[in-house]
Each structure stands twice: as C-alpha cells, then as structure tokens.
Structure 1
Amino acid sequence: MAIKFKTLPRLNPQDMEAPQKYYASSIGNGETDMEALAEMIAYQSTLTDTDCYAVLRSLEHNIINELKQGRIVKLGSLGNFQVSISAKGQENAEDVTANDIVKSRILFRPGKKLRNLLLNLSYQKAG
C-alpha cells in the first residue's frame, strides 16, 4: 500500500515575483472514525464494539479535560498532546497579560512507533 499524492503549483511567499514551482501533496484515502476504530479494536479483543466505543469517547473527553488544565497528555508510544500559544511581545515582563495571546493550538508529538512509520512509507503519484 502506498500514500498517494498529487502535484500542486505554489508561489514562493518570500518572493511573489519568482516563478511558481510544483510540489507533491498527499491525498487522503478515506476516513476512519471512532465507531470504525471501536469495531476494529473489538475484533482484536474480547470486548464488544460498544465497550470499545465507550472507552474511546472517554479517552477523548479526558484528553480534552486534561489539556484544559494545561497538562501534557502522554499516550505512551502513540505520542503526546499539549496546548501551545502564540502571543504579542511586550517591552517589559510585567506588561504581559492574557490579552496578548493571539492564537492557541494543540500540538501532537508522535511517539517512536509513529515516527518510525514515516521511515517506511512508500508513495505513488495519483493519476
């Protein structure tokens, strides 16, 4: 199985006058939702798909709650989730307030097994 990609033209954002270049861009190959994951896990265990789905929903709920409290959520070899922020700079440390925060996002840092997955992927141009 290979990851499919298409070719897209892009301009250089640092030099808008430069000619565009073409880059490979991955193409999604469908989706797998929590219900499908629960069914897969149930097939590989002694649990029912309903039990597995309940555990996955609980995992989602608890990850959200832990991130809201500023915690890093470590999921073993799967990886870590953490909230990250971007803020406007101030001249003095005492002038920095929560109002300076302009954006927040959730970072995911893959664990070793997921990073190793990237080393062994193959690619195929869609066409």
Structure 2
Amino acid sequence: MAMKFRLIERRNLGKDAATAPKKMYAQAVNNGYVTFNELCDNISELCSLTSADVKAVLDRMNYELDRNLKAGRIVQFGEIGNFRLSVGSSGSVKEEDFSSSQIRKPKIIFTPGAKLRSTRTNTSFEKAVPMTVTESVPCDLEHVY
C-alpha cells in the first residue's frame, strides 16, 4: 500500500527564492489513528496474551525506558530500535565558568532498527485525491494538532 501525500504551497527557502518565492512541497496525508487500546488489542490477537497483559508490559517498558534514559543509558528496544538522550548547552569560555544551568532540555533520539529503516526505504507514494465538499471524514478532535 502506498503512502498518500498532497501538495501544498510554501515559501521557498532555497537559493532560488528570488526567482521562485513559492514552491509546491509534498505533505504526508495520514490514514487514521491507532489508539493505544487498539494497538494492545491487535497485539493480543496474535499471541496468547490478553490485551491487559500487553498493556501491563508496555506500561512497564515505558517506565524502564524512562528510568534508563535518565541514568544516561542507551536503551535497545529490540528490533524497533534504540533510544538515547542528547543534550546541548550554551558555551563558556572557561571550564570553571560553565554551569549545569546552561544545559538545554534534553532531546530523546530514536534510531530505528533494520526493519523500520527498510520501511523508510521501501515506502512508495501516491498523490491523494482531493475530497469533495459532500464527503465527510470522521474527526477525532482530541487528536487534532
């Protein structure tokens, strides 16, 4: 199945901005939303665990991920990939002038595993058909950003 995209016009930030101030760029069209409960139900269908068991395991994995990232460890999440914290700071001329208050909020870096990397490589694209005025799309306002 191909991932759908639409074209939107945006300001051109490239070197040719003087000759083409606006250009068309691709934007992914999401094909729905999978809730945590749906994900747990789908996983439980494929194994002998109940949905509650899957939720408990994932909840504990989240706790362990948090605990180990705070301890400065890289967390390997099986074939999914690795998580690690990355920090940046403002600079100091001298080492003794540096304070931990200069460190910015850490970022969580995710490095996908081989399967997810191949997903990025093997994804095909197709232009989304614009909706007509008469079509309606269910909207979950809780997840609109």
TM-score range (shorter-chain normalised) is 0.7 to 0.9
Backbone CA RMSD of aligned residues: 1.9
Aligned residue for 1:122?
124
Q: Does 1:112 align with 2:114?
A: yes
Runs of 4+ deviating beyond 4 Å: none
Query: 2:94 is matched by which residue type in structure 1?
Result: N
In the alignment, the residues of structure 2 paired with residue 49 and residue 121 of structure 1 have an alpha-carbon distance, to the nearest angstrom, of: 30
Alignment of 1:22-61 (within 5 A): 22-61=24-63
Aligned residue for 2:6?
6
Aligned identity (percent) is: 38
Are the equivalent residues in 2 in contact too, given 1:74–1:81 (CA < 8 A)?
Answer: yes
In the alignment, the residues of structure 2 paired with residue 42 and residue 102 of structure 1 have an alpha-carbon distance, to the nearest angstrom, of: 40
Distance 1:14 1:24, change over 3 A: closer
Secondary structure at 2:34's aligned position in 1?
A: coil
Secondary structure at 2:104's aligned position in 1?
A: strand
Distance 1:92 1:13, change over 3 A: farther
Q: Structure 1-normalised TM-score?
A: 0.88
Q: Structure 2-normalised TM-score?
A: 0.78
Higher-strand-fraction structure? 1
Are the equivalent residues in 2 in contact too, given 1:42–1:49 (CA < 8 A)?
Answer: yes
Task: Show CA shifts across 1:44-86 (max 9, x none).
Answer: 1111111111111111121112112221111122101111122
Are the equivalent residues in 2 in contact too, given 1:34–1:56 (CA < 8 A)?
Answer: no
Q: Larger Rg: 1 or 2? A: 2
